Structure 1
Amino acid sequence: MTTTLGTASAGPGEIDTGRLEVGETRDGSPIGLPVAVINGAKSGKTLYMQAASDGDELNGVGVIQRVVPRLDPAELSGTILIVGIVNYHAFQVAEHRNPIDDTKMNRAYPGNESGTSSERIAAATFDVATGADLVLDLHQGSTSRMIDEVRVRCGGRHRLHGECLELAKAFGCGYVLDQKGPDGQLARAGPDEGVPTVDPELGGSVGWDEESIRKGVDGVFNVLRYYDFLDGETAVTTQTRARGFEQYGAPAGGLTTLESDLGSRVSAGDVLFEVTTPFGEPKAEVTADSSGILWRTRRLPQVATGEYVCSVATDIDEY
């Protein structure tokens, strides 16, 4: 059966790319999000993937750029639907939020087809996502430095919580954040419609991180094998799961020096960071309140009083 997404249309064993129209620019030109349809030669599930719903989170775009050329529809069971760049306006100007309506796209789901620019884009992509069996919404940590993780955002009491955890484990990048997310996230809205949805956060800091992109590519192929889109075994490994976090700010202004690497275990009382003057004179030292894992840090060292410096994951287990 032929599958269509926007102007992309592919029969069994075919691949096609095109555009999904979601509105018009200020000069009246149509806006088309780049889309791809990979239609397997054999029947199976449907996977939906998207990237850059936050316009400066580029690692997901890098994942798709590398995944699609490696996919042979003749060897695929089922269908893969992709929107390669969701936040069209923000991507064009390398910004996080949609500059047309100053909206963070991943707070706009399930969207509104008659609403603002972001709501219309969210509605169009949500319509595709809810027609799938599984959803990967590829992100990265924006301006912060962070470990590669997969976020399960539906909440522990959700009826699809177990299925979302399974999808996160199959992706297999080593770390899972299992915490109910804010309203408007695709990873919150998708499960409400019965579709297991996770949010791989592939590294942090604005840019193009080859190591995080590689982990994302590996994760996508892990999912494709685990759910039988492709032949082959996926070595599902134990993941480190975090369900609670403590955030630490600077007690004084100056330059911060972190005492641990991302992903390091810390114990209560361990020094997390020091604040000094530009001349290296000590001003403050901050220690961990609880044991955990250094999960996220600011990108640049300079801080004002009270400014965010790092996060430690505290409610940790292995699953």
Structure 2
Amino acid sequence: MVTLGTASAAPGEMDTGRLAVGETRDGSPVRLPVAVVNGAADGKTLYMQAASDGDELNGVGVIQRVLPRLDPTELSGTLLVCGIVNYHAFQVAEHRNPVDDTKMNRAYPGDANGTSSERIAAATYDAAVGADLVLDLHQGSTSRMIDEVRVRCGTRHRLHSECLELAKVFGCGYILDQKGPDGQLARAAPDEGVPTVDPELGGCVGWDETSIQKGVDGVFNVLTYYDFLDGRYSPRAQTRATGFEQYGSPAGGLVDFHVDLGDRVSRGETLFEITDVFGQSKAEITADSDGVFWRSRRLPQVATGEYVCSVGTNLDTY
């Protein structure tokens, strides 16, 4: 029998339930939606979670589509799933937990006796580090961005090769291989010996069906490659960036992009232009390095110094 919160499944069974992580301001229980898919045969354990940032919904869409397609009688090993991590932020469609104004993916490994976010992080971290592999499903929130997988442990980490392998297998097409900030699940779990990656499934407000489908395909790639499911895994080329350059606006106005997401750009190539409301050019910004146009703001209006876009650099292909 495998248990996560109130979800409990014998071999060949699946169950859903709730994981208690505290109470709301009126004393009502806060319980995260969880699932256990316990395969009929022995194998690895995969932990998967979504919406640790409350407005990043594509990961929820992935879980919603993957779970109904799984037959535990045909599965080897176990899936542990938390469908919504940042309970409070999800309720109000905000990025940060409004109870303590915290970005959940900066709170790991958490504290069972700490703040609201630390308690949620601790409960989900316990499930994660008990697994063999972890997928922490994210999204670019309100930015526009390519579908990518982030390896956040750092290239010198003892588990780097295992994390990079997991990212390649997920197979979004692009990998950002750069050490992440403290408090990220994909930073903390490898320290406990668990390969963990952070798929960033596009960027939008609401659902992005194309990115959700890439996430679904990625999960099934992982399930097939790591022998949870029978089948043939077909690798595809992945472009890895180990650098990431961000560009702000030198002036206020409206952004006119000269390149599209996923385009290869060359050093000195124009990335975007800033114009006034009458269409007169105020500034033209060029790339500092060769790379891939990775991420950009969604709305055109910017103030001086405000974020505009990012370019992935130091590229190689696998």
Interval containing the TM-score (normalised by the shorter chain): over 0.9
User: In structure 1, what is the Cα distance between the partners aligned to 2:145 and 2:315?
Assistant: 16
Find the counterpart in structure 2 of residue 315 from structure 1. Answer: 314
Alignment of 1:60-75 (within 5 A): 60-75=59-74
> Is the counterpart of residue 24 in structure 1 residue 13 in structure 2?
no
1:59 correspondence with 2:52: no
Which residue of the partner structure matches residue 149 of structure 2?
Answer: 150
- The secondary structure found in structure 1 opposite 2:316 is strand
Are 2:193 and 1:208 equivalent residues in the alignment? no
Q: Conserved in 1, the CA contact under 8 Å of 2:38 and 2:79?
A: yes
Number of the residue aligned with 1:227: 226
Q: Which residue of 2 aligns with 1:194?
A: 193
User: What is the aligned partner in structure 2 of residue 79 from structure 1?
Assistant: 78
Q: CA deviation at 1:312?
A: 1.0
1:48 corresponds in structure 2 to: 47
Shift of 1:108: 0.3
How much does 1:248 deviate? 1.2
Q: Percent same amino acid among aligned pairs?
A: 81
CA contact (8 A) 2:34 2:82 kept: yes
SS in 1 for 2:168: helix
Task: Output the amino acid matched with 1:200.
Answer: P
SS across alignment from 2:211: helix
- Kindly state the Cα deviation for residue 205 of structure 1 after the two structures are TM-superposed: 2.6
Counterpart in the other structure of 2:164: 165
Shift of 1:277: 1.2
**Match of 1:236, as an amino acid?**
P
Structure 2 distance, partners of 1:206, 1:185, is 22
Q: Which residue of 1 aligns with 2:109?
A: 110
CA deviation map 1:182-237 (0-9, x unaligned): 00000000000000000000001322100000000000000000000000011122
Q: Could you tell me how far 1:238 is from its partner in structure 2?
A: 2.3
CA distance in 2, matches of 1:7, 1:84: 14
Q: Match for 2:78: what amino acid? A: T
The aligned counterpart of 1:177 is: 176
Q: TM-score under structure 2 normalisation?
A: 0.99
Residue 132 (structure 1) shift? 0.3
- Give TM-score, length-normalised by structure 1: 0.99
Q: Which residue type is aligned with residue 26 of structure 1?
A: R
1:130 is matched with 129
CA distance in 2, matches of 1:182, 1:277: 36
Please give the alpha-carbon distance, in whole angstroms, between the structure 1 residues aligned to 2:96 and 2:144: 19
Number of aligned residue pairs: 318
Residue 168 of structure 1: SS of its match in structure 2? Answer: helix
Matched with 1:270 is 269
**Displacement of 1:291:** 1.1
Q: Which ranges of structure 1 fall in alignment gaps of 5 or more residues?
A: none
Task: Give the partner amino acid of 1:110.
Answer: P
Query: Which consecutive unaligned segments of at least 5 residues does structure 2 have?
Result: none
- Rounded to whole Å, the distance in 1 between the matches of 2:286 and 2:22 is 50
Runs of 4+ in 1 over 3 A off after TM superposition: none
| Matching residue of 1:304 | 303
User: How many angstroms apart in 1 are the aligned matches of 2:286 and 2:43?
Assistant: 51
SS at match of 1:244: strand
Alpha-carbon distance in 2 for matches of 1:53, 1:136: 12
Conservation of the 8 A alpha-carbon contact between 2:176 and 2:312: no
TM superposition shift of 1:257: 0.7
